[in-house]
């Protein structure tokens, strides 16, 4: 039955074709699983979707250990310096909006990532996958030290953040950049 979930449904009475809405929750989970596979393959340690990913635990008090597990979209291995916010889709983001006061949706990504980072005591990183495009990563410029932003031939500076291709960031950084131990 799943094969027929996203097909066009013809409204026989009106003669209109209506496309069913895509399940955003399922799409988010798929994107998160793809990111986990990329990170697991690259670092040779396990990354998994956080239990309750997409939920926010700000309304409850968690132990420090639980904060490490439940904060962010991806459960990371011990010693990983980053809290990962995973975003999928958002193909309608207009980069020209940078010149009209900023990109509201990117600003929301940033705000959420900074809140999660403060909550769990790790550095914020946002991984974003648009449809049929390579993974992008947003990282605070200050967190690139000792690496330099100019090591990336293709990059976008947005506010205090750098946006680069995830593959390029993984290629240009080493274990010390990602892990504390």
Spell out the domain ranges in the chain.
23-178
What does the pLDDT average to over 65-72?
67
Report the C-alpha gap between 72 and 87 in whole angstroms: 11
Helix (H, G, I), strand (E, B) or coil at 79: coil
Burial class (CB in 10 A: 0-12, 13-18, 19+), 113: buried
β-pair partners for 82? 123
Name the phi and psi angles at 128, rounded to 5.
Answer: -130, 125
Per-residue pLDDT at 59: 43
For the entire predicted model, the pTM comes to 0.78
Lowest mean pLDDT among 55-59, 96-100, 105-109, 155-159: 55-59
Residues 83 and 113 sit within 8 Å (Cβ to Cβ): yes
Contact (Cβ atoms closer than 8 angstroms) between residue 125 and residue 142: no
Ramachandran angles phi, psi of 67, nearest 5°: -60, -40
């Amino acid at each position: 039955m799943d094969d027929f979930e996203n097909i066009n449904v013809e409204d026989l009475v009106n003669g209109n074709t209506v496309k069913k809405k895509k399940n955003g929750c399922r799409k988010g989970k798929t994107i998160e699983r793809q990111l986990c596979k990329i990170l697991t393959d690259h670092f040779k340690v396990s990354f998994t979707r956080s239990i309750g990913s997409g939920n926010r635990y700000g309304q409850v008090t968690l132990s420090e250990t639980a904060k490490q597990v439940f904060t962010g979209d991806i459960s990371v291995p011990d010693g990983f310096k980053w809290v990962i916010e995973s975003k999928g889709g958002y193909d309608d983001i207009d980069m020209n909006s940078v010149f009209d006061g900023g990109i509201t949706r990117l600003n929301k990504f940033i705000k959420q990532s900074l809140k999660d980072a403060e909550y769990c005591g790790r550095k914020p990183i946002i991984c974003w996958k648009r449809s049929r495009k390579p993974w992008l990563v947003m990282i605070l410029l200050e967190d690139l030290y000792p690496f330099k932003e100019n090591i990336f031939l293709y990059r976008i500076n947005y506010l205090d953040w750098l946006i680069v291709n995830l593959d390029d960031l993984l290629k240009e950084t080493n274990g010390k950049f990602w892990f504390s131990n």
